[in-house]
Amino acid sequence: MNIIEFVKKELNLEAEAIKKVAERIDENAEKAVDLLFNCQGKVIVTGMGKTGIIARKIAATFSSTGTTAIFLHAAEGIHGDLGILQKDDVVIAVSNSGNTPELVSIIPYIKFNKIPLIAITGNINSKLAKNSDVVIDCYVPKEYEPFGLVPTASTTVALALGDAIAVALLKKKDFKESDFARFRPGGTIGKKLIYQVKDLMHSGKENPLVQNNVKMDNAILEMTSKGLGCTNVIDNDGKLVGVVTDGDLRRFLSKGYTNLNILVTEAMTVNPKHTSPETLAVEALNLMEENKITMLPVVNESNEPVGMLHMHDLIDAGVVG
């Protein structure tokens, strides 16, 4: 037995199952997203067994993308947990067979309270499907599963379908990275999305700043004393007109200019890329990477430099990586 080839075959089989279900997606997917979009309460995702685990993951995806969602174990539901369901909620029931006894048992309660029910099932003729407001077909042939019994491809398809619906919903809600940050404040993702430039920039006395009428030797002194290897350059009105970096200095010297008794304007980069204090740190990082720069002037609404952001600040804060 060639394990590597067997694993490849299984992966391709599950990928094929997803593609086949994708080909059958119809207006019911749109109806489901519309129901979820207009939901005034919670989204309750329910299931049993392996499919229940998938339902729990789908609920977690909804929750992390701005939709209040809770997993309800179908067996716990029939033993007292149905009180979690309210009339403004929407229920998503995940079941390959659509006839799981525990899941079928809670349908009357859902229907009695007129709670919209979305079925994700591999059996469109099942009791679940026949009693649902929207049915999304995720049928997977038995030969795609080991012995035709062990849920592998079918659970993969259900998970992929749940993720696809969640992503469609967040697109419909115009859910942005900045919104996502509120639900993921910890870890690398949270750091990338919750930090703003003003949280990391060098400001006040730490902000390197020179007038455009000073000589290069004074600019170098400012660059060195502030320890950032760069300085903002302002005009008489305090507006940003340029920046001088270590790179600018090296290019200046490489051209044979050794006289530092010249105006800073002869060596600075004019109209440099810049950002604002309220910009997300990850957006500033993208700007730096796109333009291959390691420092970024920070200006206010009047184009006055209020800080300097260095790549090292982003690395130290965990935004990079």
Interval 226-254 mean pLDDT: 90
pLDDT category of residue 190 using cuts at 50, 70 and 90: low
* Average pLDDT value for the chain: 90
Which candidate, 66, 311, 54, places its Cα nearest to that of 180? 66
| pLDDT reported for residue 150 | 84
Work out the number of other CB atoms within 10 angstroms of the CB of residue 160.
Answer: 18
Q: Angle at Cα 60 formed by Cα 54 and Cα 61, nearest 5°?
A: 90
Token pair belonging to 253: 């010297």
Tens digit of each residue's pLDDT (9 = 90 or more) over 143-184: 888 887 788 999 999 999 999 999 999 889 887 665 555 555
pLDDT category of residue 317 using cuts at 50, 70 and 90: confident
| Whole-number Å distance between alpha carbons of 149 and 137 | 19
Architecture of the domain spanning 3-175: 3-Layer(aba) Sandwich (3.40)
Q: Is 269 helix (H, G, I), strand (E, B) or coil?
A: strand
Q: Name the pTM for this structure.
A: 0.62
pLDDT category of residue 188 using cuts at 50, 70 and 90: low
Which candidate, 125, 156, 118, places its Cα nearest to that of 22? 156
Domains of the chain, residue spans: 3-175, 197-316
CB of 199 closer than 8 Å to CB of 224? no
| Whole-number Å distance between alpha carbons of 82 and 240 | 62
Q: Which of 99-103, 190-194, 223-227 has the lowest mean pLDDT?
A: 190-194
| Whole-number Å distance between alpha carbons of 86 and 88 | 6
* Alpha helices by DSSP H, the chain: 3-24, 27-37, 49-64, 74-77, 101-112, 127-130, 153-172, 177-183, 187-194, 197-200, 216-225, 246-254, 281-291, 311-316
Interval 285-304 mean pLDDT: 93
Tens digit of each residue's pLDDT (9 = 90 or more) over 260-270: 778 899 889 99
- Return the DSSP state at 235: -
Which phi-psi region, left, alpha or beta, contains residue 103 (left: φ > 0; alpha: ψ -120 to 50)? alpha
Burial of 25 (0-12, 13-18, 19+ CB in 10 A): middle
Which candidate, 320, 277, 280, places its Cα nearest to that of 301? 277
Tokens 């290897």 identify what position? 229
Architecture of the domain spanning 197-316: Roll (3.10)
Q: What percent of the chain has pLDDT over 90?
A: 67
